[in-house]
Amino acid sequence: MEQVVNLWPLIGIVAIVIGFLLRFNPVLVVIIAGIITGVAAFMSIGDILEKLGSGFLSTRNLPLILLLPLAVIGLLERHGLKERAQEWIAHIKTATAGRLLIVYLFVREAAAALGLTSLGGHPQMVRPLLAPMAEGATENRYGELPDDVRYRLRAMSAATDNVGLFFGEDIFVAFGAIIFMHNFMLESGGIQTEPLHIALWGIPTAVCAFLIHSFRLIRLDKRIARELSGLNKSALQNREGA
């Protein structure tokens, strides 16, 4: 006879999504979601606090891990890292922001699938390298960029890194979420699964995420080309009229 699996603990995911959409404090959202999940899983208050405490202790060195790369990246930026990245991408005549980000999306997703999640990231890759290269490739084609286009390129660069990491790491068999799902199904429902099988089922989702986001990046190229070509044509007409 099949055992009934308690799916109510998944309501914690809903709490996280709602909290992030409403832009509440991330730490508060995660803590509340953890408490909701524990209550839905019929855990005692003591067990919930123990899990929250152990999670906090396991990440207590996180600020140091984040601050050290920031200091290094800051020194590199001070000595012209952004300018060098823009100059390098300007020599590739066929490069566009969309094509560049598609290549990065593939590399980021493939690396995350192998467990190499630290190869990218916003502070060490997007801000000093990826976003300036996307801006440089666009400037090489259309000249000086309006602020709204520049900010859009930066936002899409950050989004590309997020998509590649989020869906790529779901394929890595030793990823924490996969181990969590394995333990959850085994302990709560008695369902015997293999982490490798769970990871393999993440591949179709990762492929779909790559295709969908690549389509968005192609649309980004077309939208920027349409907007900037129109601006350049208007500016040329104004100069001729003057």
Cβ atoms within 10 Å of 213's Cβ, excluding its own: 21
Separation of alpha carbons 99 and 133, rounded Å: 11
Average pLDDT, stretch 186-212?
Answer: 80
Question: Rounded to whole angstroms, how far apart are CA atoms 242 and 231?
Answer: 17
Longest dimension (CA), the chain: 85
Burial bucket for residue 30 (CB in 10 Å: 0-12, 13-18, 19+): middle
Among 55-64, 105-114, 165-174, whose mean pLDDT is lowest?
A: 55-64
CA distance 210 to 164: 8
User: Token pair 């803590």 is at which residue?
Assistant: 31
Query: Which amino acid makes up residue 112?
Result: A
In terms of average pLDDT, the best of 27-41, 104-118, 186-200 is 104-118
CA distances to 13, 160, 161 from 108, rounded to whole Å, are 25, 9, 7
Report the C-alpha gap between 207 and 167 in whole angstroms.
Answer: 9
Nearest 5°: the CA angle 55, 183, 210 is 85
- pLDDT above 90 (res 164): yes
Token pair, residue 187, equals: 């302990």
Q: What is the DSSP string of 180-213?
A: HHHHHHHHHH-----HHHHHHTHHHHHHHHHHHH
pTM: 0.66
**Segment 32-40 mean pLDDT:** 85
C-alpha–C-alpha distance, residues 83 and 131, integer Å: 11
Tokens of 7: 């799916």
Of residues 160 and 203, the one with the higher pLDDT is: 160
Count the Cβ atoms, other than its own, within 10 Å of residue 171.
23
When pLDDT is cut at 50, 70 and 90, the band that residue 176 belongs to is low
Confidence of residue 162 (pLDDT cuts 50, 70, 90): very high
